[in-house]
Homo-oligomer: A and B are copies of this chain.
Amino acid sequence: MAVELLAPLQPAAASTQPMHRQLYEHLRQAILSGRLRPGERLPSTRQVAARLRLARNTVARAYEDLASEGYLEGRVGSGTYVPRALPAELLQPAPPAEPQPPAAPRWRLSAWAERALSLSPLVAAGPDATAAYDFTPGQPDWDAFPRALWRRLLGRAWLRGDLGRSGDPAGYRPLREALARHLAASRGVVCTADQVVVVNGTQQTIDLVGRLWLDPGQPIALESPGYPGARRAFEAYGAETVALAVDAEGARLDRLERREDVRLVYVTPSHQYPTGAVLSLERRLRLLDWAERSGALVLEDDYDSELRFAGRPLASLQGLDRGGRVIYLGTFSSVLLPPLRLGYAVLPPDLVGPFVRAKSFADWQTATAEQQALAEMLRQGHFARHLRRMRRLYQARREALLQGLARHLSGLATWRDSGAGLHIMLALRPGLDEAEAAARVAAAGVRVGQAGPCWIGPPDYAGLLLGYTALPPQRMDAGLRALAEALADT
């Protein structure tokens, strides 16, 4: 070995790396870059130690680490070598970094990837600290989360639970049982615990259903306007979307009933996203009848209907389904927190197996301790109490919002109060442009959502989405006044 290779190596006392690792890395790079060639002999540890003024043990340790990774080998009675078997032609200095020609893609990805990357990304609904009035929809009142209670329940699961050692991709059995009871009582869902599968939130259910149902070109019916997170997941699978218009009775079924090739329908019957319409009983019956006749699946996303303020929450579509054609999906994002990532699907008995198979292939199972804590929260009645508290809290904000809307927005927009959910959709007065309105509103320090991405194809009208959960009631009126002033200037 050319001992001069060691010359650039100065023991760097300031380095966070111990000296034996610095020497290891120096020699490793010398071998990888071809400065030390296969077959070349290294100086003895004694020679190197003397030359670099290091303890001999330090050098020996570097040599051992290199040997254990195959960079060096000892020959009895002869010393230490770079192994002859290493492919000399692959040991080269790193090529100088050259800009890639932009026309040559480095990877060929799947058709799914090409589609998914061509779609708009899903956007997080986090709070906007820079806005004076934050009406961003899709987020809870973060301060209302019962931190101490959840910490206690979860802490108990971690301290005394079984840690999930009997893990089941379908979910923690006592949570599935508690959910079946809770959903029967509060949502009229008719199911056994065997039909309940725990997932990481609504998006996972939608994705797993897409993967089980959709091949490229497969038609699927969605509400328009509707939930863009569902549409994008389905479009990534290559689905061809059939738009169901939405009126005061929820999704219209006439286009659906004229088709026989649609095998999957995604609807939000209890509180249509984003308009807030409630699917009428007549349409519920017709939708189930159509599904039965055409062998289709209905995906009922019941995303926030536990938060109903006027009257009792409407019973689920699933509870009306006699033919086993509905997958009901729910989430704890609205009542607890989105980043908890806990949701559930209630499936017809013959679909539990395929769905659990898809779940296990996707990520094996949802984390267990959180399921254990949630099961206790439901079982001990904490969840029902928390839900009542959230209903009171949000109802006060909702009333403040509706009063402020009536006071400030009546000439500028119309809206529907369906008595449920965590946002209101404003249909802007004809002539108002949505993007321009949103920009002016933002400039006035008011953050709102836009309805544009909810439409399949060109929108019928411009719309803004106002979440009311993040803003205290006493600030609602001023926020809506600022919103109205910005809109009036448009």
Interface residues in chain A, defined as those with a beta carbon under 8 Å from any beta carbon in chain B: 32, 64-65, 68-71, 83, 85-87, 90-91, 94-95, 106-113, 116-117, 121-122, 124, 126-127, 139, 142, 145, 147-148, 150-151, 154-155, 158-159, 162-169, 199-201, 203-204, 207, 211-215, 218, 232-233, 236-237, 263, 280-282, 285-286, 288-289, 295, 297, 311-312, 314-315, 320, 322, 324, 337-342, 350-351, 353-354, 357-358, 360-370
Contact = CB atoms under 8 A, between A and B. Distances in A.
Given A68-B312, A311-B68, A167 B364 contact: no
A295 to B, nearest CB: 7
B200 A367 contact: yes
Given A203-B364, A213-B110, A163 B142 contact: yes
A234 B113 CA distance: 15
Contacts of A237: 110
Contacts of A341: 363-367
Contacts of A207: 361-363
The quantity of this chain's copies bound in the complex is 2
6 tightest Cβ-Cβ pairs between the two chains A and B: A164-B339, A70-B281, A204-B363, A339-B368, A341-B367, A200-B363
A108 B145 contact: no
A281 B126 contact: no
Contacts of A204: 362-364
Given A122-B360, A124-B166, 12 more contacts: A32-B320, A68-B312, A90-B288, A95-B322, A108-B263, A109-B354, A117-B357, A142-B163, A165-B339, A204-B362, A204-B364, A341-B365
A117 B285 contact: no
Contacts of A363: 199-201, 203-204, 207, 341, 362-363
B163 A286 contact: no
Nearest to A166: B126
A66 B32 CA distance: 77
A382 to B, nearest CB: 15
A339 B218 CA distance: 36
Contacts of A87: 282, 285-286, 289
Given A117-B357, A124-B167, A163-B145, A322 B108 contact: no
B116 A201 contact: no
A83 B282 CA distance: 9
Given A158-B147, A358-B113, A127 B286 contact: no
